[in-house]
Amino acid sequence: MNRLLAGLGVVVVAALLLSGCSVLVSEQAPAEPTQISAPALVGLDPYVEALAPATYRSLTARRARRLAQKAAVGILIPSCDDEPKGRGFAVDAHTLVAHRDVIEGGGWVRVFAANRRSTAVGPGSAYRVGDLGVIRVARAVPRRLVPSRSVGSGASVVVVAERDDKLRMLPGVVVDSVSGAPFGVSTKVLRVTSAVRQGDAGPVVDAKGRVVGVVFAVDERTTLGLALPVSALRGRTLARVAEARDACD
């Protein structure tokens, strides 16, 4: 019976179409209210949700430059030279980093701000890691970055490097943390995708403007930048992972 009715329906529709009959649309509203309901939303499977890309924030080049300029200081070690040999960065209250040629050795240290005002920060002990020079000073540096406790793979960062007396902002991402032994360092090092060149030495700043490490070399096999984590720049750890430099005569 059902098949018969269905067949009759098809015949009627076909007859209407062939006869040129049109469908009439009434402008009169239906007497009874129309009930319309949307289908229920289907919850996302937790496994699929875990695969969704996480939101991330990045540091703009303008803000990175502003932070770098705030932490940048001229470094003078009178026993090494009578004039500052270059610019470095204060990555915490007692740690200055610069290219190894700027920090030739330990001794009494004076830093210069952008307005050329100088501050004596006392005696310092100098170290070298690749192209990076580090000096730990006795007194607090007046201008500095805020260090971060840790950084994870995938974090957005900006490497601050000085080339031809100009600050360069090199955006990138932290790839991973690997053994520093192949690179002559007895601690783990960060690898970043920033366009770091041999000779670059400067802070690695995360999306919140905190310093997470300092660049000291390039991995020749992968061309990735290599950075010491900021935790390796403190006290006994620095003395263990870096080469101590003699005081300037």
Can you give 69-100 as a three-state secondary structure string?
Answer: HHHEEEEECCCCCCCCCCEEEEEECCEEEEEC
Domain range annotation of the chain: 61-144+241-245, 146-231
Please give the residue that has the higher pLDDT: either 159 or 3.
Answer: 159
pLDDT of residue 204: 95
The domain 61-144+241-245 is placed in CATH, from the list 2.60.40.10, 2.40.10.10, 3.40.50.300, 3.90.1170.40, at: 2.40.10.10
Is the pLDDT at 140 greater than 60? The verdict is yes
The structure tokens listed for 145 are 């970055």
Is the pLDDT at 154 greater than 80? The verdict is yes
Is the pLDDT at 46 greater than 70? The verdict is no
Would you say the CATH fold of 146-231 matches that of 61-144+241-245? yes
pLDDT of residue 70: 84
Q: Residue 199 has what DSSP assignment?
A: T
Is the pLDDT at 117 greater than 50? The verdict is yes
pLDDT, mean over the chain: 82
Asked if residue 125 lies in contact with residue 244, where contact means CB atoms within 8 angstroms, the answer is: yes
With a pLDDT cut of 90, the percent of the chain lying above it is 52
Is the pLDDT at 173 greater than 60? The verdict is yes
pLDDT of residue 17: 45
Q: Per residue in 161-171, is it b (16+ CB within 10 Å) or e — as a string?
A: bbeeeebbbbb
pLDDT of residue 57: 67
What's the rounded Cα separation, in Å, for the pair 202 and 154? 20
Length of the chain counted residue by residue = 249
For 42-77, the DSSP string reads: PPPPHHHHHHSPPP-----HHHHHHHHHHHEEEEE-
Q: What angle do CA 166, 150, 234 make, to 5 degrees?
A: 75
Q: Is 237 buried (19+), middle (13-18) or exposed (0-12) by CB count in 10 A?
A: middle
The pTM of this model reads 0.74
The CATH classification number of 146-231 equals 2.40.10.10
Asked if residue 214 lies in contact with residue 226, where contact means CB atoms within 8 angstroms, the answer is: no
Average pLDDT over residues 127-148: 92
What's the rounded Cα separation, in Å, for the pair 131 and 99? 6
Average pLDDT over residues 106-118: 87
